[in-house]
Structure 1
């Protein structure tokens, strides 16, 4: 009889612990599913997607549209918009501009190879890079923020520094 009572007690305690564990994980899931503000970045809930998030770069009566990728650096960049920055040519393959505020690259896997049309962040310098030609050399510090959808040709023939207004395109 004592063994049955002990077994029943263990069973009740086990069920109670499992229920408490599920409540904690439900609270964690609920918290992660809500919008929250962390280090100046508004994180999107799991139900929202950045798949349709685009930015527009405007300069010299021309436009370039970039579809943003879903990563912490991209979200951090979007939180800084609208921006007006000056780009310059770098090694005949990319246009670069140093950001006033560095982007968060926590928990990001950097080291991507760039390709034509990439909109990227180079962490050591804290700069945005727009690749208008491919760049074969690998770097461990390049984070791809997005991909140009249209207007690549507007960047290729600019030799001088140029000022760009960047804003998020409404969905």
Structure 2
């Protein structure tokens, strides 16, 4: 699923995977969260409620730009550096197409569903 992410006023493209947890996050959109630094690797925030962890995908180590969910605490994390090794408790939900500098200094993020593009039928039909 394509999503639109705004980080401190700057729009960037992003995607969510098709996992149940990512679909659960999508059901909460639009969502604006204040971020704080965690361990010098990620920015974290608490969504309004915990996400489902049913049928979680195989664990994978997070990479720069990954949007993740840490199930024991119920928080979202955006990695601005590659994370530690894979963990059953850390679910990768998607990826944000932004450079590490933008991600590392992020204070506020807005996540919205990407609006489908409309086709201009007048232009299409005139060809």
Instruction: Name the TM-score, length of structure 2 as normaliser.
Output: 0.81
3-state SS of paired residue (1:154): helix
1:168 alignment partner in structure 2: 113
Higher RCO, 1 vs 2 (CA within 8 Å, ≥6 residues apart): 2
**Deviant stretches of 4+, over 3 Å:** 150-153
| Match for residue 96 of structure 1 among 3, 24, 44 | 44
3-state SS of paired residue (1:96): strand
Q: Which moved more, 1:90-99 or 1:58-67?
A: 58-67
Q: Does 1:75 align with 2:23?
A: yes
1:125 alignment partner in structure 2: 73
1:1-171 correspondence to structure 2 within 5 Å? 53-156=1-104, 158=105, 162-171=107-116
Tell me the CA shift for residue 73 of structure 1: 0.5
Tell me the CA shift for residue 55 of structure 1: 1.7
Aligned equivalents of 2:67 and 2:80: distance in 1? Answer: 9
The answer as to whether partners of 1:64 and 1:151 remain within 8 angstroms in 2 is no
Instruction: Name the TM-score, length of structure 1 as normaliser.
Output: 0.62
Tell me the CA shift for residue 110 of structure 1: 4.9
Aligned equivalents of 1:110 and 1:100: distance in 2? Answer: 25
Equivalenced residues, count: 116
Aligned equivalents of 2:56 and 2:111: distance in 1? Answer: 24
**Structure 1: 5+ residue stretches without partners:** 1-52
